[in-house]
Amino acid sequence: MQRFFNKVKSFFSSDSNNASKHFSEPPVLKVVERKQHGISRRQIDKEALDVLYGLKRAGYDAYLVGGGVRDILLGLEPKDFDVVTNAEPEQIKGVFKSRCRLIGRRFRLAHVYFGRNVIEVATFRGDGDGKKTAGKNRKQVNHTRAVDDTGRLVRDNVYGSIEEDVWRRDFTINSLYYNIRDFSVLDYTGGMEDIEKGQLRLMRYREDPVRMIRAIRFAAKLGFEIEPNTKAPIYELAHLLKDVSHARMFEEVLKLFHSGVAIEVFEKLRHFGLFTFLFPQTHHLLSMESEGFPRMLVIEALKSTDARIQSNKGVNPSFLFAAMLWEPMLQRMEQHLAEDFSRQDAMFAAANDVIEQQIYSTSIPKRFTAQIKDIWSLQFRLLNRQGNRPQKLFEHPRFRAAYDFMGVRVAAGDDSVKEVFDWWTEYQTLDSVQQVAFANDIKKKQSRRRRPRRNRNPYRKRSHQNPNKASESNSTTND
């Protein structure tokens, strides 16, 4: 085990040296004057400006940092604005009082509330030795920094200067500081030049393996090239994603695939060997059939997701996970059918198996697992269009997601459900009276071509099963 840790540390040391060799120690500051950059206060949210000016009036240094600065320089609309300051969390709370809430243990942060809007404020991070400061004083105890045996940062409450803070950033393009005092941009790492070049350059992976995933997301979203010394360690360090908390991995998966460029993200994740640590079951199927239906299903689902995001429509994590895990679920379902399960029981058993396996990589909140199962279950229930079933299914809260998912299957080449999908497409264009007639028409057509009846209930288990148990199982399929 110790040999393993030593190997990981050597990777990290090599990574840190390669990624940092372009920088000088200590960092060389380049001040980009207001007239030399394109950032205007009119492009910054009023709430962020209120926080910056509030800290300034209280006598503290305050800067806009990270994605907000980067996006404005790239001509994009920032999603959020982060503030960094030399004020410590308790001092920040003293400035904003009841509007401020302190959060986090791994990273102690201040959230300043303006109605539903939140501005995140962090204190400059410093270097530390990972040991707790002695003494019982609360302020001292909170000033801690700790890393695990692989070098991953697990607690970071050592405060420092802006010169130290810059080295705690992930990429050079995210390490630009907009100064509210004179409206200049402070560039310690060549981030301005990297933005001009369209280049993604790492500060260091050492503290957080998730930065590998972030590199993929930024490269896809911004259209940037990953700089060679940033790219090389990803292949060797990908396995460290297994050490990241599953809850955090779930959030990172959503950021990746709800970025509006999910298809490119998917291809880059596979190229760098990262996808297997996010969806191992799906990766296993793709490795056996790299260009077949499983891949096309994922591509079509991601294409649909990208289109919704680019049209400013909502997206549901359940749809993403239902698409990613559909083929593994079907494979497992076939195994249960071979074990004499009914179709319904086989599907739900397979769903439980696959989801349980997935949460070893990414957690899935229970509200989403229930929705995933609904989407899958409806793929079979939508096949039955007789009597009053269509209306009941149409009113199901997950009908639209299930219908869209069936459309993805058709687009990916699953012709077995094309007729059913087309039927439901037309059904939705009709008024309530026409819908009843349309459903009756399908019933007549099916009656005319009905085959000799062998099993009145397609969900019923075979005859050798306990009849009472079978009856209970059948009753659950009725709407």
- Strands (E) in 153-218, as ranges, are 153-156, 176-179, 185-187, 199-200
What one-character DSSP code corresponds to residue 162? H
Residue with tokens 């500060």: 203
Alpha carbon 29 to its chain centroid, in Å, reads: 34
306 is catalytic: no
**Are 109 and 102 in contact, with CB atoms under 8 Å apart?**
yes
- CB environment 55-94: b (16+ within 10 A), e (fewer): beeeebbbbbbbbbbbbbbbeeebeebbbbbbbbbebbbe
Q: Identify the helix (H) or strand (E) that includes residue 30.
A: strand 30-32
What one-character DSSP code corresponds to residue 125? B
10 Å Cβ neighbour count for 102?
13
187 is catalytic: no
The 3-state DSSP class for residue 440 equals helix
CA distance 458 to 479: 15
Residue with tokens 């409450």: 157
170 is catalytic: yes
Q: Which two tokens stand for residue 26?
A: 């200590």
**Are 55 and 92 in contact, with CB atoms under 8 Å apart?**
yes
Characterize the bridge pairing of strands 199-200 and 225-226: parallel
**Are 172 and 30 in contact, with CB atoms under 8 Å apart?**
no
**Selected catalytic residue, list 61, 80, 404, 414:** 80
**Selected catalytic residue, list 82, 165, 208, 374:** 82
10 Å Cβ neighbour count for 287?
11
**Selected catalytic residue, list 15, 71, 165, 170:** 170
374-379: list long-range contacts, CB under 8 Å, 24+ apart. 374/398, 374/401, 374/402, 375/318, 375/319, 375/322, 375/401, 375/402, 375/405, 376/322, 376/326, 376/329, 376/347, 376/351, 377/344, 377/347, 377/348, 378/402, 379/405, 379/406, 379/409, 379/417
CA distance 265 to 217: 6
10 Å Cβ neighbour count for 204?
22
Residues identified as active-site: 80, 82, 170
